[in-house]
Chain A
Amino acid sequence: MNEIYFNVDAGYLEGVVRGYRDGLITAPQYLNLTQCETMDDLRLQLATTDYGAFLQNEPSPISTSTLVARCTDALVAEFQYLQQNAAEPISRFLDYITYGYMIDNVILLITGTLHERDTHDLLDKCHPLGLFDSMPALCVASTVQELYSTVMVDSPLAGYFRECLSAEDLNELNIEIIRNTLYKAYLEDFYAYCQGLGEPTASVMGEILRFEADRRTVNITINSFGTELSKDDRTRLYPRLGNMYPEAQTRLARADDMDQVKAILEQYSEYKSMIVGVSLHAPADGDGRGAQSLEDRFFGKEVQLNKDAFEQQFHYGVFYSWLRLKEQEIRNVVWIAECISQQQKDKVGSYTAIY
């Protein structure tokens, strides 16, 4: 019955976001991009895409960092257009999407302050979607209590901070724990909110968010190998949802090396095919086109899930999915640009194609 009243509030925006989706770079365009020899060629190719308007006023030798900034500007402009035209259920949904960026920004600022970077540089580096009013004040906080009582209590993230307050002081490990605890609380809240929106949003977003939770679970497990994070703490960082919750999570919590993680993942049909032929031991530096890292596979799976969200109409999932696809596209463009500017043309093919 959702079809009957969905368009009252969201019909226009859904049409707009589907239009944005049609503007994503397609496979033939990627082929053209990968064949570029210089950054100027690349820019010429990008002029025909949605990024064209944002790149045209840049001085000619364009650097990859400017390219990232302008591409992000394009994304932010489109997202803000949606936000400005959104009425209640969608505006809240869009706000939920921005909370993820806020968490990243908070962590970026705390980490930066820990290493005594300049505040203005840090604020420039923050993702524009995750800005909130009291953010500059983050730099003065030195303990978690202070962080909460001076800054976070007024932000939308205040509720997520509940479980972080036990951490004593801000060091590298604690910041990582705060990031994951925040993200865990955010993911659980977002999931509950989406389930409350009714079908088909609940099922579409449920699938995407469960995958996101699984990915975080696996990443937390892998990243905690060889650190001083205890196994109990590790369990506490896992989001309490996902396809692997709770059975595989308890086993992942006890895992000691990559082979055990692989054995656990192999029992899930949706992840079994994903980890075949993955070079598990060197996730950081991909050695060329042949061996994809687990992270790349996760990105591929995420793209697939987000593309599936567009197969149904009359649900809010398209807003989230479009943003994720657009982010992946920017990652692809940046990868291609990096390969071109660093003369590493043999690796240029290992981007995650979308359409």
Chain B
Amino acid sequence: MGAAQTGYAGYAGYARAAVAATGIALAAWAGLYLLLTGRGERFNVGGYLLRISPYLWGLYGIALCIGLSVVGASWGILIAGSSILGAAVRAPRIATKNLISIIFCEVVAIYGVIMAIVFSAKIANVSAESGFSRSDYYTGFSLFWGGLAVGVSNLICGVAVGINGSNAAVADAHDQQLFVKILVVEIFGSVIGLFGLIVGLLVTGKAEDFAGTA
């Protein structure tokens, strides 16, 4: 098995190197082509970012906020839940008590939902004639980064609470007195998600609703 595995890994390595080399060669060719034909100013990252619609930024932010939060919550439930299941085989009494760990993980997803609702309230229709104002661009960017902050912090928080919940389950099955002590640690873990929620609210607090250049 060992030899076959190294062989396979070897081929995968070659394939990766080939793809990377092709990509670099294409990028270099395109870059040099633009540069040498006098169109080098088309490498304009700032201009590119500004051409992206603020709706896209805002909606990406909302999607990342709810998406990453749900991934964090479900991952936490996976980690805690499987341990609760195993530990409850011998000590069935822990099952109900340790549902609190699952609830802590679930709360993380609820943070994501709340923030996504708050963020989406700022999305409004802008008619084609009026166009986007500077304020709309600010709203789009703040929704994106606020949503990303909430999503990532909830992802980490969900995993942290899940691992802690798994510890709590096996510890509780071994010794009942340990449950409350580990629960305190778990509460501190679940507060991390709340930090993300607060920062997300502050980041988007000054953003006006989409209105266009009235």
Q: Which of A3, A8, A13 contacts B86 (CB 8 A)?
A: A13
B51 on the A face (CB < 8 A): no
B-contact 0/1 string along A6-30, CB 8 Å cutoff: 0110011111111111110000000
A174 on the B face (CB < 8 A): no
Q: Which residues of A contact B173 (CB under 8 A)?
A: 15, 18-19, 22
Q: Which of B133-182 contact A (CB under 8 A)?
A: 159, 163, 166-167, 169-170, 173-174
A313 on the B face (CB < 8 A): yes
Q: Which residues of B contact A13 (CB under 8 A)?
A: 86
Q: Which of A4, A15, A21, A22 contacts B83 (CB 8 A)?
A: A15
Q: Is the beta-carbon distance between A22 and B89 smaller than 8 angstroms?
A: no
Bound complex: CA A313 to CA B80 (Å): 12
Contacts A7-B78, A7-B79, A19-B90: A14 and B159 contacting too (C-beta < 8 A)? Answer: no
Q: Is the beta-carbon distance between A15 and B89 smaller than 8 angstroms?
A: yes
Q: Is the beta-carbon distance between B85 and A11 smaller than 8 angstroms?
A: yes
Q: Is the beta-carbon distance between B78 and A15 smaller than 8 angstroms?
A: no
Q: Is the beta-carbon distance between A8 and B78 smaller than 8 angstroms?
A: yes
Q: Is the beta-carbon distance between A22 and B91 smaller than 8 angstroms?
A: yes
Q: Which residues of A contact B166 (CB under 8 A)?
A: 3, 7, 11, 313
Interface size on B, as a range, is: 20 to 34
Bound complex: CA A7 to CA B169 (Å): 13
Bound complex: CA A185 to CA B171 (Å): 37
Q: Which residues of A contact B170 (CB under 8 A)?
A: 14-15, 18, 313
Q: Which of B166-210 contact A (CB under 8 A)?
A: 166-167, 169-170, 173-174
Q: Is the beta-carbon distance between A19 and B167 smaller than 8 angstroms?
A: no
Q: Which of A3, A17, A18 contacts B79 (CB 8 A)?
A: A3
Q: Which of B75, B78, B159, B167 contacts A313 (CB 8 A)?
A: B167
Q: Which of A7, A8, A11, A16 contacts B89 (CB 8 A)?
A: A16
Identity of the chain A residue whose Cβ is nearest the Cβ of B80 in the assembled complex? A7
Bound complex: CA A45 to CA B82 (Å): 34
Contacts A3-B163, A22-B173, A313-B167: A14 and B86 contacting too (C-beta < 8 A)? Answer: yes
Q: Is the beta-carbon distance between B83 and A14 smaller than 8 angstroms?
A: yes
Q: Which residues of A contact B159 (CB under 8 A)?
A: 4
Chain A nearest Cβ from B106, distance in angstroms: 17
* Residue of B79, B85, B86, B87 ringed by the most chain A CB atoms within 10 A: B86
Q: Which of B43-92 contact A (CB under 8 A)?
A: 75, 78-79, 81-91
Identity of the chain B residue whose Cβ is nearest the Cβ of A21 in the assembled complex? B174
Chain B nearest Cβ from A42, distance in angstroms: 24
Secondary structure type dominating chain B contacts: helix
Bound complex: CA A11 to CA B87 (Å): 9
Identity of the chain B residue whose Cβ is nearest the Cβ of A310 in the assembled complex? B174
B-contact 0/1 string along A50-79, CB 8 Å cutoff: 000000000000000000000000000000
Q: Which residues of B contact A313 (CB under 8 A)?
A: 166-167, 170
Chain B nearest Cβ from A242, distance in angstroms: 23
Q: Which residues of A contact B163 (CB under 8 A)?
A: 3-4
Identity of the chain B residue whose Cβ is nearest the Cβ of A318 in the assembled complex? B170
Bound complex: CA A3 to CA B163 (Å): 7
Q: Which of A3, A4, A8, A22 contacts B90 (CB 8 A)?
A: A22
Chain B nearest Cβ from A160, distance in angstroms: 15
* Residue of A8, A13, A18 ringed by the most chain B CB atoms within 10 A: A18
Bound complex: CA A4 to CA B82 (Å): 12
Q: Is the beta-carbon distance between A22 and B174 smaller than 8 angstroms?
A: yes
Chain B nearest Cβ from A314, distance in angstroms: 8
Identity of the chain B residue whose Cβ is nearest the Cβ of A12 in the assembled complex? B86
Bound complex: CA A18 to CA B83 (Å): 10
Q: Is the beta-carbon distance between A19 and B83 smaller than 8 angstroms?
A: no
Chain A nearest Cβ from B91, distance in angstroms: 7
Q: Which residues of B contact A7 (CB under 8 A)?
A: 78-79, 82-83, 166
Chain A nearest Cβ from B81, distance in angstroms: 8
* Residue of B75, B78, B79 ringed by the most chain A CB atoms within 10 A: B79
Q: Is the beta-carbon distance between A15 and B88 smaller than 8 angstroms?
A: yes
Identity of the chain A residue whose Cβ is nearest the Cβ of B85 in the assembled complex? A12
Bound complex: CA A23 to CA B167 (Å): 19
Contacts A7-B82, A313-B166, A313-B167: A19 and B87 contacting too (C-beta < 8 A)? Answer: yes
Chain A nearest Cβ from B166, distance in angstroms: 6
Chain A nearest Cβ from B158, distance in angstroms: 11
Q: Which residues of A contact B82 (CB under 8 A)?
A: 7-8, 11-12, 15
Q: Which residues of B contact A15 (CB under 8 A)?
A: 82-89, 169-170, 173
Q: Is the beta-carbon distance between A11 and B83 smaller than 8 angstroms?
A: yes
Q: Is the beta-carbon distance between A19 and B89 smaller than 8 angstroms?
A: yes
Q: Which of B97-156 contact A (CB under 8 A)?
A: none
Identity of the chain A residue whose Cβ is nearest the Cβ of B159 in the assembled complex? A4
Bound complex: CA A159 to CA B84 (Å): 39
Q: Is the beta-carbon distance between A20 and B78 smaller than 8 angstroms?
A: no
Would you mind naming 8 contact pairs between A and B with Cβ atoms under 8 Å apart? A12-B82, A13-B86, A15-B82, A15-B87, A15-B88, A16-B89, A19-B87, A19-B173
Instruction: Give 3 closest A-B pairs by Cβ, nearest first.
Output: A15-B86, A11-B82, A19-B90
